[in-house]
A and B are shown apart, each in its own frame.
Chain A
Amino acid sequence: MLRIDRASYDAIVAHARRDHPDEACGVVAGPEGSDRPERFIPMLNAARSPTFYEFDSADLLKLYREMDDRDEVPVVVYHSHTATEAYPSRTDISYASEPFAHYVLVSTREHGDQTGLVGDDVELRSFRIVDGVVTEEDVDVVESYLFGHSPTTVVYD
């Protein structure tokens, strides 16, 4: 299951909408071993294409160096599909190379820009892609990671 905070979720969706009709892409980094996406990092789609995305090679190096320095990993790797469902394409599967990442897909086919209508829900789904095998997982959106912690015990004398 992907557990993600509301702010990161909304930021991914907003990026996908903003870049429509091109595909949007980026990562949400988090502390190594935490499985907690915390730091939203939108990336440029160097392909600037409605059917393909690719991180620019220099940006990719800078991103991984920065994550390394901060002991972070790409907990979420996201991108949008602009005309098809939010499910990994064959190209997505062939490129997928972060076995511990949650691959998040957003489809903007029905809602390129915000319609403003009630029920303008976004198609956002999450997958693991390991050795060419795609496994969909539930997405749990939390308002804040803080609420997931056990409350601190307060002892009054």
Chain B
Amino acid sequence: MAADDFEAVAAKAGGTVASFEVEKLSLGERLQRFLHNYPTAAPLFVLLLAILAFYVIVGEKFLAPFNLSLVLQQVTIIGIIGVAQTLVVLTAGIDLSVGAIMVLCSVVMGRTAIEMGMPSFIAIGLGFMVGALCGAINGFLITRLRLPPFITTLGTWSIFFAINLWYSQSETIRSQDIAEQASLLQFMGISFEIMGARFTLGTITLILLFIGMWYALNHTPWGRHVYATGDDPQAAQLAGIDTNKVLLSVYIVAGIICALAAWTLIGRVGSVSPQAGQTANLDSITAVVIGGTSLFGGRGAIFGTLIGALVVGIFQNGLALAGVDVLWQQFAIGLLIILAVATDQWIRRV
């Protein structure tokens, strides 16, 4: 064949330039892709559906600004802890010790202020330091000793809780004593009203924390490193990310957020009880999972957790207002968890 034949051959070829095959997607596949791109859409849909359903069942009262703002108050603690949990879950880990860290921090704040008579701001600062220290212990065990997060935090959960019982002597510090001697501890409980809705400084903190963490995760190198480490730690390392450093920072930040939750908890219940927060670890995981963050790491949106916490709060409040027995609240939340994880498995297949 002569070289000039090229043109002739080329002329015979199809005129279309390189193109992708246009896939014909079924409705289900489109939904699957949509959810893959917007993991928060599914929980948001459930939230709106739940609000609508309870409006029909319970009536006007349910949608009253006061009631809706009440639900927000009720999910404040779990929402804040949920931020810590989301961070950890994004790195494909899990933190079972969050509730114990929170209670320990609240007891440290309460006892140093009331029993030892330290100035409130120092007591709160000490609480935050204890939170950071607990997180650092978790992070150290996971990154240096290479222990799996589940087992590590299962162990530290027990340890932190035992220290809490020892330090607090299982004694509750009363709201009245705190109000008298260290009212700064109850700062987060200060409330105000806007058009019939009631907010506390705790709920404002919750919202600011979510906005701050959304920014950090999406618009800072650290945030991108967290996602990368969770998605594929080896690829992240090859890309030059010090994954151990990222993991350690995640657990320390989670510990500090738990201390923030502790301060908020004192504001909400007034008192300091070493018995508090016993289910906070599982509740926060519930919020994270319903919020669409994948337990396999690397995928999920921080606002999903807020929505997840709200879904649980709306169900509890709505079913209570409808006069439904508590065991059905548990039943409904169990169904939601299964549904959320099933959805996650489905959208992972894209």
The answer to whether A and B belong to the same complex is: no
Interface residues of A (CB under 8 A from B): none
